[in-house]
């Protein structure tokens, strides 16, 4: 299996995540934060998205307020900001 540069891809690499260098950005088993910083997400899209991440070998970590709905937004400004800040701070 070759990447776009013709280099041999490492088997632990997640497809489509190479940053152009020799090391992939994501590896199988990596945790990936799922946050909604704007619009509320449809439950079926969240389910499909997290299933796709798992199929790629990643571990989705769904933020507490992803399923929140406030009007057309995914929770209040404070809730969305808290989810994003928690995701950024999580190593």
pLDDT at 1: 43
The alpha carbon of 53 is separated from its chain's Cα centroid by a whole number of angstroms, namely 7
CA distances from 60 to 29, 50, 67, 72 (A): 10, 6, 14, 24
pLDDT at 7: 46
48-87 pLDDT, tens digit per residue, is 999 999 999 999 999 999 999 999 999 999 999 999 999 9
> DSSP alpha helices (H): ranges in 1-91?
43-55, 77-89
What is the SS3 assignment for 82? helix
**Residue where the block lists tokens 């009007």:** 71
More confident residue, 90 or 3: 90
């Amino acid at each position: 299996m070759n990447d776009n540069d013709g280099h041999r891809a490492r088997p632990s690499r997640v497809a489509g995540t190479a940053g152009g260098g020799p090391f992939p950005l994501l590896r199988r088993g990596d945790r990936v934060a799922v946050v909604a910083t704007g619009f509320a997400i449809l439950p079926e899209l969240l389910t499909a998205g997290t299933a796709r991440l798992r199929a790629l070998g990643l571990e989705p970590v769904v933020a507490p307020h992803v399923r929140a709905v406030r009007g057309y937004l995914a929770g209040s400004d404070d809730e969305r900001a808290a989810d994003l800040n928690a995701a950024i701070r999580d190593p």
